[in-house]
Amino acid sequence: MDKAAICSLEDVSKLYRVKKGFFSGKTSLIRALNRVNLDIKREEILGLVGESGCGKSTLARLVLGLERPTSGQIRFEGVDLSALKGRELRGFRKRAQMVFQDPFSSLNPKKTIFKIISQPLKIHNICPKEQLRNEVRRLLQMAGFSNPGVEDRYPHEFSGGQRQRIGIARALATRPDLVVLDEPTSALDVSIQAQIINLILDLQASNRISCLFISHDLPIVEFVSHRIVVMYRGTICEIMPRRAFMLSGRGENSSPHHPYTKFLMKSIPVPRPQEEPGCEKKGAEGQDTKALPASHDKIRAGCLFYSRCPERLGFCGRQEPMPVEVSKGHIINCHLFHFSKKEQSPK
Ligand SMILES: Nc1ncnc2c1ncn2[C@@H]1O[C@H](COP(=O)(O)OP(=O)(O)OP(=O)(O)O)[C@@H](O)[C@H]1O
Ligand SMILES: [Mg+2]
């Protein structure tokens, strides 16, 4: 069943102007996001993957209204974020929250856990003053802290995983409808990662929240997400339901993918490559030898992945690809699929 979008991005671009050098007065433009069209549906976890610098955090900041797009619109429940002011903007801030990557720097070391979690409760007038302590305890319990007195301790008294759970409790304090998690587990130990992931899954289901889950870790993204978006240099390459992502069956994967998605999938280390059909050349060799590094990419028109794409056709460097729906909810932004659909090959 398709659920309505809680947040939608329509043709969103974000450009940053940066100085060319420390002493240079010249500037250049960085296109962090390039005409992104995307829906975050109600009660879904939307996974977002892509290499470093592809624009994931920029997209997160725009969705939360922390920055404005250079062009295009972002709507939250149909309302344009750029039109929100005063009370309406505060109302939106209450309903859209963020969990940060680094649990060490995201909590103020000078404040007790009570102060940290009660702050959003006070700002948004969520409960009367005399009930603040009970509400903070309830939130901490939800995040797995059952010992009394936890709220009177300081952040430095907790481990990384515990701090991240406190960060999650703080994000849920305003009872948000949308939570953006920007690499919430990447600073944590592998054993703690599983704890945090399970907590996120439990809380998302019990509170019926929509989540944008950003990560570099493809297996984690596959595990938590209902749908997955793959981004490359500010553009969306592919949007797919989890069943089409299927990392576990990489060898005999029957779903078609964008060449960049395949490239990302191939980069995952495999413990016993000889036991996985079709995965004999994993690890460093698994990287495609024809692929060029991003810095060699001088293509201005056409597909942005052109110079690194092992399946490129001459045509791909000249014309921008359009999205093709290869199966229900599975969209690939690549010329190869247009041509296979029309059963003709370009020159
Ligand atoms: N405030 C800013 N000023 C100038 N450039 C910026 C700014 N924020 C982001 N960028 C640039 O925009 C691009 C996308 O950055 P972003 O932080 O969104 O990437 P990312 O996908 O989150 O990377 P990572 O996985 O490393 O966190 C990068 O080239 C970055 O240098
Ligand atoms: Mg980032």
Highest-scoring range by mean pLDDT, 28-42, 248-262, 295-309: 28-42
316 Cα to the center of ligand 2, angstroms: 28
d(CA 305, CA 290): 12
- Domain 5-245 has what CATH class? alpha beta
182 Cα to the center of ligand 2, angstroms: 7
The residue type of 42 is R
Residues framing ligand 1 (Cβ under 6 A)? 16, 18, 30, 32, 50, 52-58
Nearest CA to ligand 1 atom 5: 16
The yes-or-no verdict on residue 124 having pLDDT over 70 is yes
The per-residue pLDDT for range 88-98, each reduced to its tens digit, is 999 999 999 99
pLDDT tier, 66 (very low <50, low <70, confident <90, very high otherwise)? very high
pLDDT tier, 146 (very low <50, low <70, confident <90, very high otherwise)? confident
pLDDT tier, 252 (very low <50, low <70, confident <90, very high otherwise)? low
Instruction: Please report which ligand is nearest the Cα atom of 28.
Output: 1
β-pairing, 210-214 vs 45-49, is parallel
Nearest CA to ligand 1 atom 11: 32
- Percent of the chain beyond pLDDT 90? 59
d(CA 315, CA 302): 8
d(CA 90, CA 84): 9
User: Which run of H or E residues covers position 98?
Assistant: strand 96-99
By most ligand atoms within 8 Å of CB, the mutation choice from 15, 20, 56 for ligand 1 is 56
pTM score, whole prediction: 0.88
Least reliable range by pLDDT among 30-44, 146-160, 289-303: 289-303
Q: Which of 53, 62, 50 is nearest to 8 (CA)?
A: 62
pLDDT tier, 188 (very low <50, low <70, confident <90, very high otherwise)? confident
Least reliable range by pLDDT among 238-247, 271-280, 281-290, 296-305: 281-290
How many other CB atoms are there within 10 angstroms of residue 88's CB atom?
A: 12
pLDDT tier, 315 (very low <50, low <70, confident <90, very high otherwise)? confident
215 Cα to the center of ligand 1, angstroms: 14
Instruction: Quote the distance between the C-alpha of residue 344 and its chain's center.
Output: 35
β-pairing, 71-76 vs 5-19, is antiparallel
Length in residues, the chain: 347
What is the model's pLDDT at position 2? 55
Q: Which atom of ligand 1 is nearest to the CA of 60?
A: 18
What are residue 57's phi and psi, to 5 degrees?
A: -70, -30
The yes-or-no verdict on residue 293 having pLDDT over 50 is no
- Percent of the chain beyond pLDDT 70? 86
Contact between residue 329 and residue 225 where contact means Cβ atoms under 8 Å apart: no
Q: Who contacts 136 (Cβ-Cβ below 8 Å, separation ≥6)?
A: 113, 114, 117, 118, 121, 151
The domain limits of the chain are: 5-245, 258-347
Residue 46 in tokens: 């939307």
Which residues make beta-bridge pairs with 138? none
By most ligand atoms within 8 Å of CB, the mutation choice from 16, 18, 214, 216 for ligand 1 is 16
